[in-house]
Chains A and B, each alone.
Chain A
Amino acid sequence: MEFRRNGEHLEITDLDPFLAELLRQIPTSINTQDAPAAHARLFSMPAPASEKEVCAEWKLYVEPELRRLFASAAERVADDLQQLNGCAKSLANCALRIPCEHADAWLNALNQARLAIAAKFDFTESELCDHYRSPIGSRRDLSLFQVNFYGFLQEFILREINPGA
């Protein structure tokens, strides 16, 4: 697998079917229905619980806006991922081109997915730092790999869109 910036696009080439499948799972990973821990993390409270007025107004006015923002990022990423459905052979390596103007949506959606998965599985900090654990073994190991793979992709996007940052 190779990452590079090509003009106004970020390109991931030579993407093997396993990693392509993990990318396809970004939109579904974001779904927090039936996952209260993930929902609580994506829509965390804006103030200590004692600040009842701040929290109540937030629920009423801000949370719907955040919901729209997150959904819009996820939709944009889902649209870009349609390219992966065009691979001629199911087991062939493929490529993904992300317009640079979609970079913020990708950073947001990848972050939503990472946070939601980590909350669903309640990963510890030491697990999250274990970048060498094999994804094969259990659903938990696979999900940990997924979180780290998405993080790797985030780092690539950040590096390419903010070279000096």
Chain B
Amino acid sequence: MRVPREGRKTVSEATWEVAIPWPNQPLAVRAAVEAPRPTEETRTEDAIDLPWQVVVHNDPVNLMTYVSMVFQRVFGFPKEKAEKHMMEVHQQGRSIVWSGMRERGELYVQQLHGHLLLATLERTN
């Protein structure tokens, strides 16, 4: 799991800082003296990130009922949708269960691995 880094803030999250030339001046005066300036304006990796997908792979050991239960728990799928994906895994060898931004995908893969499913995070073609 990636650890959030300072350099990955979005523009809207970038912190703004007011320069304080005279610490004893009232705040309103200080703000008027110098306009705020952004400390960083880098766009995040995620903001321009292409979608990723979470893929679950077939595994002859995991029980079908167990896989279906894990899908319901991790993704909140209704039973029918969970079973549809489980059958896809079973019959086609893999199923794309989610797609979106990387960090959320990593979290899902971590949860699936916590339940011992074979899951990978892949770039969407």
Contacts and interface: CB of A to CB of B under 8 A. Distances in A.
A62 B66 contact: no
Interface of A is mostly: helix
A59 B118 CA distance: 16
A34 interface: no
A33 interface: no
Given A44-B113, A112-B116, A165-B68, A54 B63 contact: no
Contacts of A114: 61
B89 interface: no
A19 interface: no
A79 interface: no
Q: Is the interface of B mostly helix, strand, loop or mixed?
A: mixed
B1 A158 contact: no
Nearest to A43: B113
Given A42-B116, A44-B118, A162-B69, A155 B106 contact: no
Interface residues of B, number: 27
Interface string A85-123: 000000000000000000000011001101100100001
Contact of B66 (A45, A46, A107, A118): A107
B99 interface: no
A62 B1 CA distance: 6
